[in-house]
């Protein structure tokens, strides 16, 4: 997930930089106002910085949505693997492979068994402990060119498709806030928790 982290870090860096400039502007303006009674310098100074535009509350709301492992934060909606297959083929397959086997990007499909020395796969089906993370990750970052563009129903559907392709749920199962949170991933017990009480 390094690319995602980089983008997030860059966005934060840019907004912190804009805040710093805004503060600096106020300080300079105050000084000029006090000394000469003129405010004309301030807008020109910030326009020349070309640091981008401040994040709006809509921009922030797109990122500020967390779904917890137990399903808290999941929106209303529903989707099936059948519907998800169509979305997957249109929006995901070119990077992740026609059947999730991987391409220019990660494999998304593996056997529904935890990783072992013989098969140390870190694909979501064998490695990830919670199915709800698939929904969270896809909604906030996939496809990379248009993160946040899938509706809740589309995200449930593509999540259902990935779970069915990993043989974790039946093809016919519908995913919604309750059923997705109830899915038990094969590697649920494969982690040593060091920062949370179970």
Residue 54 and residue 16 in contact, taking contact as beta carbons nearer than 8 Å: no
* 148-to-112, 151, 172 alpha-carbon distances in Å: 28, 8, 26
Give per-residue burial for 74-103: e unless 16+ CB within 10 Å, then b. Answer: beebbbbbebbbebbeebbbeebbeebeee
Cβ closest to ligand HEC, residue 28 vs residue 95: 95
Nearer residue to ligand HEC within complex by CB, 8 or 55: 8
φ/ψ of 92, rounded to 5, equals -130, -35
Of the two residues 2 and 57, which places its CB atom closer to ligand HEC in the complex?
A: 2
Residue from 77, 143, 147, 148 in contact with ligand HEC (CB under 6 A): 143
Which segment (26-34, 47-55, 62-70, 93-101) binds ligand HEC by CB under 6 A?
A: 93-101
How many residues form the binding site for ligand HEC (CB under 6 A)? 21
Q: Name the one residue in this structure whose structure tokens are 């070119």.
A: 94
* ω into 118 cis (within 30 of 0): no
Tokens (6 digits) for 53: 């535009």
Q: Which of 92, 131, 169, 180 binds ligand HEC (CB under 6 A)?
A: 92
Taking CB under 6 A as the criterion, the residue among 67, 74, 81, 108 binding ligand HEC is 108
Q: How far is the CB of 6 from ligand HEC (least distance, A)?
A: 8
Find the shortest distance in angstroms from Cβ 76 to ligand HEC.
20
- Binding residues (CB under 6 A) for ligand HEC: these are 1-4, 91-92, 94-96, 105-106, 108, 123-124, 134, 137-138, 142-144, 158
């Amino acid at each position: 997930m390094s690319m995602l982290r980089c983008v997030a870090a860059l966005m934060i860096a840019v907004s912190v930089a804009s805040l710093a400039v805004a503060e600096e502007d106020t300080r300079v303006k105050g000084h000029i106002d006090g000394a000469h009674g003129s405010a004309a310098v301030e807008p020109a100074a910030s326009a020349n910085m070309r640091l981008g535009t401040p994040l709006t509350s809509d921009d922030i709301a797109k990122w500020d949505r967390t779904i917890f492992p137990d399903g808290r934060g999941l929106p209303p909606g529903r989707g099936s693997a059948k519907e998800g297959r169509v979305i997957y083929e249109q929006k995901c397959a070119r990077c992740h492979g026609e059947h999730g086997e991987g391409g220019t990007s990660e494999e998304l499909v593996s056997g529904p068994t935890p990783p072992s020395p013989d098969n140390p796969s870190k694909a979501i089906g064998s490695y990830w402990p919670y199915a709800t993370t698939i929904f969270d990750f896809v909604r906030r970052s996939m496809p990379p060119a248009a993160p946040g563009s899938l509706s809740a129903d589309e995200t449930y559907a593509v999540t259902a498709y990935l779970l069915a392709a990993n043989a974790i749920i039946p093809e016919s199962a519908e995913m919604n806030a309750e059923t997705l949170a109830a899915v038990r991933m094969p590697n649920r017990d494969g982690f040593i928790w060091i920062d949370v009480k179970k």
